[in-house]
A and B are shown apart, each in its own frame.
Chain A
Amino acid sequence: MTDTSHSNEQSQGERSSLSAQVLAKIEKDGVPQTPKIMFTAAEWSMWILWALSILIGAVAFSVIIFFSMHAGFAFYEATHEGFFDFFLDIMPYTWVGVFIATALLAHHNLRHTKRGYKYQVWQVLLSSILLSFAGGIGLHMFGVGFHIDGFIAQRMPMFPAMHSIENRLWQAPLDGRMLGQYLPGFEEGMEHMMRFQDANGAVWELDIAELTPSDLELLITGKQMRIVGVPSTTAPNIFTGCGVFPWVMDHNLTLRDLRLERDHFIERMKLHHEKMLQMLEATSSLPNAGFHIACATNPAVLRIAR
């Protein structure tokens, strides 16, 4: 039997009976009509969830920007063997995860609005990502990334916040890195030594013989600084400073700032290596105690020299 003939078999009576059956069922079961407000609420909730996803995505992106700008790319030779190790170590996996999740959530919510299906997956995803990017840049400008990271670092010590990473990477005196600030006051007869308090509160005798005037200028501001150096192998709490770099987590950095920071670091580290080469050429023998070349053994100086 063809479908056309099948269809013809349905009499007018049969057809109208379906209509009657449907109306009877509606009456008998008391089928309610979903109120319009429910549809409006559902539509609004999708839009609100979409906007929330974009906002959370923007916050995540602002923290990612903060990480990217302040992870210490300029000094990666001081903290890691190579750039790849550095990248894997400082990558803000949680925030990248949050960002991806919110982009997918935004996609899901927008697709479930009344007209969301009209757009291609890539259009919805791209627009959500771009909006989060734009929002993230805006929030970063207001320091939201920095404050959120600091807030989380204070309340959740286990969370890999930049503030904690910064401490882990730079508060490592035995590996030639310290984070902290200068304590005023010289000791008599020890003019090449300064007192320095690290991030853990320990006080060090900082040998400034290999520091430049600009390093010292930075140091005596009393602000938090990063110091690259060499710990003494003979006396505890003595640290030879090889370079002083400002701690700028609370400042917005531009790409130009990052480039300058990088150039400055390379230049400073190279200087120690060149100094050692010059000294070796001049003496053509092992250096004697009168020369200050401890910094040439700092891991960052060796890596850059390589």
Chain B
Amino acid sequence: MSDEEAVALALKEKAFFGHIVLRYEDKLLRYIRRLGIHNEEDQKDVLQNIFIKVFRNLQGFDSSLSFSSWIYRIAHNEAISHYRKASVRPEGHLVGESDDILALISGGEASAEQKFDARVSAELVNKALKQLPQKYKDPLILRFFEHKEYEEISDILQIPPGTVGTLIHRGKHELKKLLEQHSEHI
């Protein structure tokens, strides 16, 4: 059953909304953790709020958009609203496969650079990402850890697709600089 079919069913019968929750709770939990919500209680609260908001706004879902992008957008906004309410600065804590991290830090440029990149641990990437401005962090997380396409990132963050490309490009550049600084200290 596609997401859109699940939405159509949930609109007819509340109980079907449970399927949407089941389908997305793991993905969104991972995502909000990557966005910097560490406390388990907070994660539960934020996740619950996300699904309540999804339910509340379900009739406003625009089927020309992918449901996944729409629900990620709500999750992203809810995470931001959580930071604002708690007056805390988000601290990224990435969960990623080594391939994801390699893809993030290597631009497919020089092989020597890739060799250097390969030595960089996930821990280093986490450290560097913490220092990266949020405007770069958000698209990088979505692109390299959530494996979203540019169009989807544009829909989630509500920024033009061209800007997504620019932010990812600049973000990677900034991240590389930070990684080099960190690796010098090792």
Contacts and interface: CB of A to CB of B under 8 A. Distances in A.
Q: Does B associate with A?
A: yes
Interface of A: 2-4, 7, 10, 15-16, 18-23, 25-27, 31-36, 38-39, 114, 117-120
A3 B25 contact: no
Closest 9 CB pairs of A and B: A3-B95, A39-B60, A117-B158, A19-B21, A19-B18, A36-B59, A22-B51, A120-B160, A19-B22
B48 A18 contact: yes
Contacts of A16: 22
A7 B60 CA distance: 31
A19 B20 CA distance: 8
Given A18-B25, A31-B52, 14 more contacts: A3-B33, A3-B93, A10-B29, A18-B44, A20-B18, A22-B55, A26-B52, A34-B59, A39-B57, A39-B59, A117-B158, A118-B161, A119-B160, A120-B160
Contacts, number: 80
Interface string B62-89: 1000000000000000000000000000
Given A2-B95, A26-B55, A120-B160, A21 B18 contact: no
B174 to A, nearest CB: 21
* Secondary structure of the B contact surface, majority rule: helix
B159 interface: yes
A73 B14 CA distance: 70
Interface in B9-31: 11, 14-15, 17-18, 21-22, 25-26, 29-30
A26 B17 contact: yes
Interface of B: 11, 14-15, 17-18, 21-22, 25-26, 29-30, 33, 44, 47-48, 51-52, 55-60, 62, 93, 95, 154, 158-163
Given A15-B26, A19-B25, A21-B48, A120 B163 contact: yes
Given A4-B95, A15-B25, A19-B21, A117 B59 contact: no
Contact of A25 (B18, B48, B160): B48
A258 B180 CA distance: 64
Contacts of A18: 21, 25, 44, 47-48, 51
A15 B59 contact: no
